[in-house]
Amino acid sequence: MLSLLRLLTAVIGGATVYYVLNGTIKDEMFRIPDLIAGGAMVLAALVPGHSAASAMTTASALALGVFLVALMTYVGPGRAVDLKLIAAMAVNLATILLLHPRGAHH
């Protein structure tokens, strides 16, 4: 499970950084937050061992917040929502829910 989430986190983070750097993300308000969130996701996926779970939970929470704010700027009558953004948010939420420690495991 950790390996799959690590791969998905790295891919989404890398894609986010790529979209910022190649100009796909044109909204100036989101360029820096997206770059930070994407970079944090890539770095978290590269953390060795079981420490990656905490790092990926934190990076996914940051990215989910950034992506949610971006999504809210798109929502409106007659406007199409980017499905890649929804998919990235779903992976972020799944990562948080699956890797966050519960109960006596702290």
Domain ranges (residues) in the chain: 2-101
SS3 content of the chain, % helix, strand, coil (to 5): 80, 0, 20
Digit-coded pLDDT (tens) for 8-53: 999 999 999 999 999 888 788 889 999 999 999 999 999 998 899 9
What percent of the chain lies above the pLDDT cut of 90? Answer: 69
Rounded distance between C-alpha atoms, residue 4 and residue 99, angstroms: 12
Rounded distance between C-alpha atoms, residue 76 and residue 11, angstroms: 29
Rounded distance between C-alpha atoms, residue 36 and residue 71, angstroms: 17
Predicted pLDDT at 100: 85
What is the pTM (predicted TM-score) of this model? 0.87
Digit-coded pLDDT (tens) for 48-87: 988 999 999 999 999 999 999 988 887 777 778 889 999 9
The 8-class DSSP code of residue 13 comes to H
